[in-house]
Amino acid sequence: MMNLLQTVISRPSGALGLGLTLFHVLMALFAPWIAPYDPTMQNADAILLAPSFEHWMGTDTLGRDVFSRVLHGGRLAIAVTFSAAVIATLWGGFAGIFFGTVGGRVDEFSMRIVDAFLSMPWLLFLLLIISIGGAGPVTIIPTLGFFYGVAILRVVRGAAMQVAARDFVTAAKARGERLWPVIAREVFPNLSDILLVEGAMRWSWMLLAFSSLSFLGFGATPPTPDWGLMVAQERGLLSTAPWGVFWPCFALSSLIIGINLLADAIGKALGLDRATAIAV
């Protein structure tokens, strides 16, 4: 792990990605102690104030401090999407390894179902499920985990097929080892790197999806500080008070860029070619 970290840091893009990701995670963790104001506190005397020494990023239409809301806005987004990314990686990775190792008609049938899911307008189905189950983490986390896990399943299944065709797997089967020991001892250890990179990449996409849901009114609910919700509430004043939109967009963009750079650096350090893996 330390060797991997050193290799990632040795790349400028990897060091930048790791720095941005850690920065946002630490800011989210310590937001209650760093934020100078209560992120939900309204002040009628401080409505739409421009950035100043008192309010570093200005105030919004309700007089709330934008800097404090941006700091707290990352807490819910990171917690929800990271949990969903773990779920997606676990179930999608497990299913992909299983189907890729088993092969045959079971694999072909399952892939037709996966192809059907991937061809659907997932955002509409996501909105439908959240409308029925409610706009809360209890609904959003498993829903995001399921939809993004399908994509991970497709990638991991292709990589598992390549591993399952190697001589050491064939030799294990010839020794009479059963399916699950072969998966646990021979296949999974050779795919853990792909799972790590795919999980990190899907995490960044989930951040954008969760913010989009909040923007549409299906994610975080007022007065919860959330980047997507902040943009939705302040977008009408973009020409007169742009700081209410610019800073949450900047925070979200920098975190997504950081995670993508980090995932790409990890993939290169591990010798993985995501384009080839996805094409399989």
For range 216-227, the mean pLDDT: 86
State the Cα–Cα distance between residues 193 and 113, nearest whole angstrom: 26
Position 276 confidence tier, pLDDT thresholds 50, 70, 90 = very low
Q: What local confidence, expressed as pLDDT, does residue 1 receive?
A: 66
For range 115-128, the mean pLDDT: 80
For range 18-23, the mean pLDDT: 95
Q: What local confidence, expressed as pLDDT, does residue 280 receive?
A: 41
3-state secondary structure of 65: strand
Q: Which residue has the higher pLDDT, 50 or 120?
A: 50
Beta bridge partners of 65: 59
Task: Name the helix (H) or strand (E) containing 116.
Answer: helix 104-119
Which parts of 103-242 fold into alpha helices (H)? 104-119, 122-133, 137-164, 167-174, 179-182, 192-216, 227-234
Out of 33-42, 56-65, 113-122, least confident range: 113-122
The yes-or-no verdict on residue 18 having pLDDT over 60 is: yes
Q: What is the DSSP letter of 199?
A: H
Domain boundaries, the chain: 2-28+56-279
Q: What is the DSSP letter of 242?
A: T
Fold of 2-28+56-279: MetI-like fold (1.10.3720)
